């Protein structure tokens, strides 16, 4: 048996998230079916992070164990011949048996894209939230978010149905920047709660529209006022950008290659 890691992109619009479900099509199911065709037996995959229904990924990381003579770097091309165009394997590499896509990751990076322009844009509508009613103040949003950096209890930003033992997690960094009409909310954390990013963005948009103050935003999560956190951003604006490890096992691409360059010109 050998362990192979995959760097994957997928459009989440037509999938019910990453993880297998009984009565819905998911990315994990489609990938495992393709792997089973190659291996001639059931292959189980493990991802760096789960994505909900409708959420995209530009650099999801997955690993699996397989008893097959195919070299690790060949799985990307072979799998792409079995997979639909909405799921692409960017790179495949053989890794050590102790390496794990989820548990070896130092942190994960999610990006939420808001189109704050007056008019919708059909070219980006499927992966951004067109929030146009008011002009957002990205600096106000950024200032409100900065206190979340570090290890805190984010119970207020966790949707019901989570099976996590604790709602404590560590946010490494938050950055919010506007490039023309697009606002990018980037959050890097050791782990994410169920629905966490979308709930945070929903609240930050209220701050940016001056419907709530930064102080109210902070009070809601610090004092675990989950009942006040009612607004959740739609799934289509969220993207799992990448997972970061002690050693980068993927060599062909760097992190800047993972997200559409023509939409982040000038974004740093």
The residue with tokens 């929903």 is 202
- 118 and 223 fall within a common domain: yes
Q: Would 265 be classed as within a structural domain? A: no
User: What would the two tokens of residue 113 be?
Assistant: 């894209």
Last residue within a domain, chosen from 68, 103, 138: 103
Last residue within a domain, chosen from 69, 103, 137: 103
Q: Would 255 be classed as within a structural domain? A: no
User: What would the two tokens of residue 166 be?
Assistant: 């604790």
CA distances to 2, 109, 199, 268 from 251, in Å = 19, 19, 34, 21
CATH number of domain containing 42: 3.30.70.580
Q: Would 256 be classed as within a structural domain? A: no
Q: Would 258 be classed as within a structural domain? A: no
Any idea which residues carry the catalytic annotation? 52
pTM as predicted? 0.92
Taking alpha carbons only, the member of 154, 141, 148, 171 closest to residue 229 is 154
Sign (positive/negative) of CA torsion 175, 195, 21, 2? Answer: positive
- 137 and 92 fall within a common domain: no
* Counted domains in the chain: 2
Domain residues for the domain of 176 are 112-237
Backbone angles phi, psi at 214, to 5 degrees: -55, -30
Last residue within a domain, chosen from 103, 135, 161: 103
Taking alpha carbons only, the member of 171, 187, 170 closest to residue 233 is 187
- 117 and 231 fall within a common domain: yes
The one-digit pLDDT tens for each residue of the chain (268 residues) are 899 999 999 999 999 999 999 999 999 999 999 999 999 889 999 999 999 999 999 999 999 999 888 999 999 999 999 999 999 999 999 999 999 999 999 999 999 999 999 998 888 899 999 999 999 999 999 999 999 999 999 999 999 877 788 899 999 999 999 999 999 999 999 999 999 999 999 999 999 999 999 999 999 999 999 999 999 999 999 999 999 999 889 987 666 667 765 555 444 4
173 in the Ramachandran plot: left (φ > 0), alpha (ψ -120 to 50) or beta?
Answer: beta
């Amino acid at each position: 048996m050998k362990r192979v890691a995959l760097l994957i992109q997928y459009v989440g619009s037509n999938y019910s998230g990453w993880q297998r479900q009984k009565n819905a099509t998911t990315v994990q199911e489609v990938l495992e079916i393709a792997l089973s065709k190659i291996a001639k037996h059931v292959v189980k995959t493990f991802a760096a992070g789960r994505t909900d229904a409708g959420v995209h990924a530009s650099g999801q990381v997955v690993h699996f164990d397989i008893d097959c003579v195919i070299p690790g770097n060949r799985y990307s091309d072979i799998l792409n011949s079995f997979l639909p165009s909405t799921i692409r394997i960017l790179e495949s590499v053989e890794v050590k048996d102790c390496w794990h896509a989820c548990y070896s990751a130092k942190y994960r990076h999610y990006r939420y894209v808001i189109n704050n322009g007056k008019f919708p844009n059909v070219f980006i509508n499927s992966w951004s939230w067109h929030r146009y009613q008011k002009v957002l103040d990205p600096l106000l949003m950024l200032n409100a978010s900065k206190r979340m950096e570090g290890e805190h209890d984010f119970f207020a930003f966790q949707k019901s149905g989570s099976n996590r033992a604790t709602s404590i997690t560590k946010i490494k960094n938050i950055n919010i920047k506007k490039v023309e009409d697009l606002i990018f909310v980037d959050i890097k954390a050791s782990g994410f709660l169920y629905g966490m990013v979308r709930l945070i963005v929903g609240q930050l948009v209220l701050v940016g529209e001056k419907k709530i103050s930064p102080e109210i935003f902070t009070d809601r999560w610090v004092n675990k006022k989950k009942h006040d956190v009612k607004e959740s951003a739609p799934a289509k604006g969220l993207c799992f950008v990448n997972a970061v490890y002690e050693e980068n096992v993927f060599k062909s691409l760097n992190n800047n290659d993972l997200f559409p360059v023509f939409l982040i010109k000038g974004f740093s």
